[in-house]
C-alpha cells in the first residue's frame, strides 16, 4: 500500500515539476531560437538595407533581453494579428504586401508553434513592421540612386525608435497608418488608386481602334461607339448620354467628352481624335493604377515640412502653385526644359528677384546657337541685344563685334550677355534661388508658348506666365513690404537692372508628378515627357528581392512530429 502511494506521489510530483518547467524550457528554447535566427539572418531578405535592418533587430531584441514583442505564452498575440492586418493592406498605399513577408507570416500565425517557428514569426513580424513603416514614411527607393536628375536626398528615420514605438502600442497598424504623407495630394491619389484598381478588376475598357487619319468634329467613323464606351468608363461621357440616330456621327456630346478627356491628360483639348489622344485612351486601367502608385512614391520623397509658404512647380504638368498655410493662393502656367535640356528635380530657397535682368548666356548656347549665326552676320548680335565682354570679371570691357576676324574664328572666346529689354530671353524679371544647375524662374518674350498643352521648350529654366503677378505674391508672402506692386512697376518702367531682395527666403520645390487629382475630383494624368516614369518603374521592379526559402518546422505540439513544411516564395 505504501509502495503504491509512494509511486503515485512520485508521479504526481513529477507531473507538477514538468508543468512548471515546461514553460521555462519552452521559453529558453524560444530565446535560443531567436538568438540563432538573428545571428544567422535566416529567412530575412538579403540586400544591403536588410543587413542594416538585421543589426537593428538584433539591438531591438538585445534591449528587450530577447523578450518577444508579438508572442506570448507560445502563441501570437492580438497585437500580432493587428500588425499582420496592417501589412496585408500595404497595397492601399501602392506597396506590395508580399514585400513584407505576409504569406509566410500568415502560415506561421496559423501553424507555427515550435520554438523555431515562433522565433521566425517574431522576427518576420518585427522586420515587416520596420520595413513597411520606413517605406510608408520615406519611400521605398532612394531617388538619386534611380535617376541622376532627381536631386532629392532620401530622408532617414530612426528605425530602432520606430520599432520600439510599434512594439509599445496595442495597435501597430494604427501607428503605421500615421506614417504616410498627410498631404491632400497623397490622400487623393490613394483614393484614385483604389478607383483604378476597381476599374481594372471590372475589366477596364476596350481599346478604341487605331486609324491612319484623325477624326475631326462633325465627321463620321465606325469607331464612335467604341469611343463613347471608353469615355463612359472614366466618366467624361455620362453613361446615360443620348446616342445620335447615326451612331457613327461624331456628335457634340462626344466631342465635349473627348475635350474633357484631353484636358485631363495634358493634351490639346481640340476635340480631334488623333494619334496621341488614341494612345492615351488605350492605356489600360492597370497601367494607370501603376502610374498612380509611382506618383505616391514620389510624394513619400517630399519633405515633411515644405514651408509655411512655398512655391511648388510640377514639371510634368507645366504648372506652378504658390501655397500659404496649406492653401493655394496663386497658380500659373510654366514652360520647362525640352527632352534634351531637362529641368532637374530639386528644392532650394528663393532669395531675390531681378527686374530688367541681363542674360549671361551659357557657353553651350553661345557655342551651338549664337556663334554660328554671328559668324554669318556679325550684326546679328546687336539686332538681338547681345553684347560681347572681354571676360567674366567685374572689370570686363565691351568688345566691338565688327572689329573681329569672323572668317578665321572657330569659337567665340568672349562673354556674351543680352541687355535688358523686350528681346531679352529672360523677359523683364527673373526670380533667383541659387543652385548648381543655373535654373531659375523668369519671364519670356515668347508669350504664345503658354497656350500650348505641351510646354517643354526651354533650355532648362522655368518660364512663368504673368511673372509680375507671381512676383507680387512672393513679395507679399515674404513680408517684403517695401516693394509694393507700384514700386515694382516703377522699376520695370525705368528699364534699369534692379535687385529686389526678399525679407525672408521662400522655399521652392521643383517636382515631377504625372498623376494627380484635380480640384473637381477628376483623376488627371500627364505624359512622361522626360522618361522618369519609365526609370522609376524599372527601379521599383529591380528593388524586389527573393525571400530566403529556409523555414522552420511548424509543429502541432511541443515535441511532436513535423506537420509539414509550407513555402513562401513571396518577393519584395
Sequence ranges of the domains in the chain: 2-179, 205-283, 308-358+425-537, 360-419
Closest by CA to 549, choosing from 526, 520, 571, is: 571
Output the CA–CA distances (angstroms, integers) from residue 188 to 199, 210, 382, in the order listed. 17, 32, 52
Predicted TM-score of the model (pTM): 0.87
Structure letter (DSSP) for residue 272? -
172: number of Cβ within 10 Å: 28
CA distance 173 to 568: 23
| CATH classification for the domain delimited by 205-283, as one of 2.60.120.430, 1.10.101.10, 1.10.240.10, 3.40.50.880 | 1.10.101.10
**6 pLDDT tier (thresholds 50, 70, 90):** low
Q: Does the pLDDT value for residue 435 go beyond 70?
A: yes
CA distance 324 to 309: 4
Asked if 130 contacts 162 with a C-beta cutoff of 8 angstroms, the reply is yes
| Owner of C-alpha cell 532629392 | 152
Residue 85 makes CB contacts below 8 A (sequence gap 6+) with 173
Ranges 25-34, 134-143, 305-314, 384-393: which has the least confidence: 25-34
Output the CA–CA distances (angstroms, integers) from residue 78 to 61, 64, 118, in the order listed. 20, 19, 15
Give the end-to-end CA distance of the chain in Å, rounded to a whole number. Answer: 68
Catalytic residue flag (residue 442) = yes
Residue 27 makes CB contacts below 8 A (sequence gap 6+) with none
Residue 465 makes CB contacts below 8 A (sequence gap 6+) with 332, 333, 334, 447, 450
CA distance 37 to 180: 30
Q: Does the pLDDT value for residue 492 go beyond 50?
A: yes
Asked if 277 contacts 262 with a C-beta cutoff of 8 angstroms, the reply is yes
CA angle, residues 461, 466, 472, in degrees to nearest 5: 100
Is residue 334 within a helix (H) or strand (E), and if so which, with residue range? strand 327-337
Output the CA–CA distances (angstroms, integers) from residue 502 to 3, 432, 514, in the order listed. 100, 10, 32
**567 pLDDT tier (thresholds 50, 70, 90):** very low
State the DSSP string of 416-439: EEE-SSTT-TTTTEEEE---TT--
> What value does the mean pLDDT take over residues 144-158?
93
State the DSSP string of 73-127: TTEE-HHHHHHHHHHHTGGGGT--GGGGTHHHHHHHHHH--SHHHHHHHHHHHHH
Share of the chain above pLDDT 70, in %: 88
Output the CA–CA distances (angstroms, integers) from residue 238 to 18, 199, 234, in the order listed. 73, 16, 9
Q: Which residue has the higher pLDDT, 36 or 14?
A: 36
Q: State CA 52 to chain mean position distance.
A: 24
**392 pLDDT tier (thresholds 50, 70, 90):** confident
| Owner of C-alpha cell 572668317 | 407
Tell me what pLDDT residue 23 has: 52
Determine the topology of domain 308-358+425-537 in CATH: L,D-transpeptidase catalytic domain-like (2.40.440)
Q: Does the pLDDT value for residue 19 go beyond 60?
A: no
Tell me what pLDDT residue 29 has: 85
Catalytic residue flag (residue 16) = no
Output the CA–CA distances (angstroms, integers) from residue 491 to 141, 353, 516, in the order listed. 47, 12, 39
3-state secondary structure 151-162: CCCCCCCCHHHH
Asked if 223 contacts 209 with a C-beta cutoff of 8 angstroms, the reply is yes
- Cell numbers at 398, concatenated: 565691351
- Sign of the four-CA dihedral 514, 517, 518, 523: positive
Asked if 90 contacts 300 with a C-beta cutoff of 8 angstroms, the reply is no
pLDDT in tens, 35-79: 988 887 655 555 557 678 889 999 999 999 999 999 998 999 999
Structure letter (DSSP) for residue 401? G
**537 pLDDT tier (thresholds 50, 70, 90):** very high
Tell me what pLDDT residue 176 has: 97
Tell me what pLDDT residue 87 has: 98
Write the burial class of residue 242 (CB in 10 Å: 0-12 exposed, 13-18 middle, 19+ buried).
Answer: exposed
Angle between helix axes 48-63 and 159-167 (nearest 10 degrees) is: 50
Q: Does the pLDDT value for residue 566 go beyond 80?
A: no
Instruction: Given the residues 127, 461, 466, 509, select the one marked as catalytic.
Output: 461
CA angle, residues 391, 394, 399, in degrees to nearest 5: 40
Tell me what pLDDT residue 418 has: 92
> What value does the mean pLDDT take over residues 363-383?
91
Instruction: Given the residues 319, 330, 442, 509, select the one marked as catalytic.
Output: 442
Q: Same CATH fold, 308-358+425-537 and 205-283?
A: no
| Owner of C-alpha cell 481599346 | 207
Amino acid at each position: 500500500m505504501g509502495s503504491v502511494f509512494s509511486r503515485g506521489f512520485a508521479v504526481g510530483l513529477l507531473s507538477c515539476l514538468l508543468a512548471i518547467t515546461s514553460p521555462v524550457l519552452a521559453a529558453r528554447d524560444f530565446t535560443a531560437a531567436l538568438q540563432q535566427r538573428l545571428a544567422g539572418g535566416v529567412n530575412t531578405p538579403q540586400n544591403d538595407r536588410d543587413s542594416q535592418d538585421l543589426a537593428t533587430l538584433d539591438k531591438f531584441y538585445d534591449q528587450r533581453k530577447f523578450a518577444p514583442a508579438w508572442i506570448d505564452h507560445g502563441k501570437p498575440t492580438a497585437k500580432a494579428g493587428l500588425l499582420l492586418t496592417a501589412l496585408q493592406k500595404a497595397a492601399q498605399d501602392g506597396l506590395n504586401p508580399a514585400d513584407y513577408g505576409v504569406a509566410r507570416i500568415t502560415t506561421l500565425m496559423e501553424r507555427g508553434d515550435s520554438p523555431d517557428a515562433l522565433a521566425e514569426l517574431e522576427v518576420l513580424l518585427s522586420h515587416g513592421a520596420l520595413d513597411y513603416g520606413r517605406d510608408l514614411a520615406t519611400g521605398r527607393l532612394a531617388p538619386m540612386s534611380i535617376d541622376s536628375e532627381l536631386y532629392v536626398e532620401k530622408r532617414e528615420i530612426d528605425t530602432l525608435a520606430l520599432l520600439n514605438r510599434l512594439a509599445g502600442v496595442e495597435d501597430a497598424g494604427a501607428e503605421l497608418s500615421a506614417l504616410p504623407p498627410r498631404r491632400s495630394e497623397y490622400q487623393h491619389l490613394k483614393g484614385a488608386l483604389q478607383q483604378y484598381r476597381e476599374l481594372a478588376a471590372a475589366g477596364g475598357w476596350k481599346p478604341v481602334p487605331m486609324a491612319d487619319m484623325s477624326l475631326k468634329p462633325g465627321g463620321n467613323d465606325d469607331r464612335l461607339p467604341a469611343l463613347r464606351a471608353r469615355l463612359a468608363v472614366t466618366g467624361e461621357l455620362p453613361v446615360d448620354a443620348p446616342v445620335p440616330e447615326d451612331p457613327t456621327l461624331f456628335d457634340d456630346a462626344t466631342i465635349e467628352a473627348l475635350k474633357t478627356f484631353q484636358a485631363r491628360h495634358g493634351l490639346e483639348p481640340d476635340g480631334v481624335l488623333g494619334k496621341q489622344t488614341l494612345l492615351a485612351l488605350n492605356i489600360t486601367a492597370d497601367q494607370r493604377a501603376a502610374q498612380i502608385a509611382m506618383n505616391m512614391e514620389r510624394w513619400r520623397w517630399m519633405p515633411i515640412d515644405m514651408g509655411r509658404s512655398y512655391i511648388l512647380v510640377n514639371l510634368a504638368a507645366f504648372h506652378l502653385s504658390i501655397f500659404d498655410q496649406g492653401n493655394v493662393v496663386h497658380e500659373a502656367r510654366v514652360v520647362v526644359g525640352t527632352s534634351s535640356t531637362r529641368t532637374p528635380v530639386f528644392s532650394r530657397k528663393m532669395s531675390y528677384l531681378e527686374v530688367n535682368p541681363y542674360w549671361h548666356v551659357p557657353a553651350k548656347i553661345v557655342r551651338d546657337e549664337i556663334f554660328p549665326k554671328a559668324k554669318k552676320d556679325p550684326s546679328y548680335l546687336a539686332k538681338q541685344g547681345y553684347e560681347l565682354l572681354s571676360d567674366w570679371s567685374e572689370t570686363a570691357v565691351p568688345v566691338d563685334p565688327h572689329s573681329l576676324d569672323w572668317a578665321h574664328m572657330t569659337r567665340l572666346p568672349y562673354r556674351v550677355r543680352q541687355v535688358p529689354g523686350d528681346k531679352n530671353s529672360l523677359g523683364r524679371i527673373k526670380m533667383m534661388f541659387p543652385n548648381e544647375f543655373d535654373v531659375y524662374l523668369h519671364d519670356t518674350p515668347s508669350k504664345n508658348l503658354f497656350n500650348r498643352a505641351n510646354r517643354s521648350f526651354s533650355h532648362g529654366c522655368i518660364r512663368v506666365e504673368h511673372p509680375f503677378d507671381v512676383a507680387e505674391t512672393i513679395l507679399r508672402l515674404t513680408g517684403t513690404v517695401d516693394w509694393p506692386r507700384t514700386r515694382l512697376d516703377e522699376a520695370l518702367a525705368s528699364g534699369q537692372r534692379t535687385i529686389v531682395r526678399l525679407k525672408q527666403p521662400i522655399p521652392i520645390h521643383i517636382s515631377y508628378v504625372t498623376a494627380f487629382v484635380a480640384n473637381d475630383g477628376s483623376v488627371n494624368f500627364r505624359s512622361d515627357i522626360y522618361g522618369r516614369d519609365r526609370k522609376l518603374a524599372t527601379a521599383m521592379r529591380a528593388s524586389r528581392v527573393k525571400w530566403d526559402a529556409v523555414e522552420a518546422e511548424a509543429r502541432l505540439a511541443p515535441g511532436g512530429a513535423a506537420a509539414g513544411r509550407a513555402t513562401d516564395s513571396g518577393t519584395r
